[in-house]
Amino acid sequence: MKDYRIKQVEEHIKKLNVGDTLDPLFAGKLAKRLFGADFTAMSIEDATSFVLEHHIGYRQYDRFRNSFATLGYKIFPSALKMNAYKKNIENGIVKTDILTNSKKESIQIAFVSNIAELLKQRIVNLYNSNSLDLSRNCVDICVIGDKGSTTTKLGILIKTIDRWNSLNNMSLIAMYYGDDNYENMFTCFKAIAEELEDFKSLMINGTKYLVNLHLNGDYKFICSALGHTGAASAHHSK
């Protein structure tokens, strides 16, 4: 019974797609994504991700939304809400906080709270502009840290075909006031590191690509990030 209802939804979506060039498996993917015991509403985040993944325009999206609403299934969020969310993705949703490290010191931090969505959007934009380097059949992302003046910053670079180590390719994802020692970085960057580690793959134009993360920075930053005390020896070489 469940498979039969999914098939009905597939046929309905295919009728809406007449004359459009979409992923031929799109109807099945959307039907299975929506289907539960009953149809369940898609969140703004899920709907936006699905639209971006399948390169669907908002006009076409509204056709889906209105058609399902006519059938009694109000399962798609409005395009206006999705567009507002998409703008937040593109710019990054920045939050601020005051954290306390292991030494009971307070640290002011500003960070992007939707890193995975920001990365997905940037990667798709690079792909659509033929700038994304997929020569290794994966997406390479460099996580780079830097201590300057009174702040420690964390940024990301996505490997592009031309000059990817460029300021124009840098996205600042976190910054705090304080030294780049292990205690501060663990306190401020732990949640961000976990989110980046969970970002293992993504779909681009119907193909799944793995994500490879690379760590870069000066010697002290790398040592702090890895929990090393740095270079030390009791008996130096002569």
Would you kindly state where each structural domain of the chain is located, as residue ranges?
A: 2-87, 92-226
The pLDDT value given to residue 121: 85
- Whether the CB-CB separation of 221 and 145 falls below 8 Å is answered with yes
Residues of the chain with confidence (pLDDT) below 70: 1-40, 45, 49, 52-55, 71, 85-91, 167, 229-238
First-to-final CA distance of the chain: 79
Q: How far apart are CA 162 and CA 190, in angstroms?
A: 31
Which helix (H) or strand (E) segment is 141 a member of? strand 138-148
pLDDT in tens, 141-181: 999 998 877 889 898 999 998 877 776 778 888 889 889 88
Structure pTM?
0.60
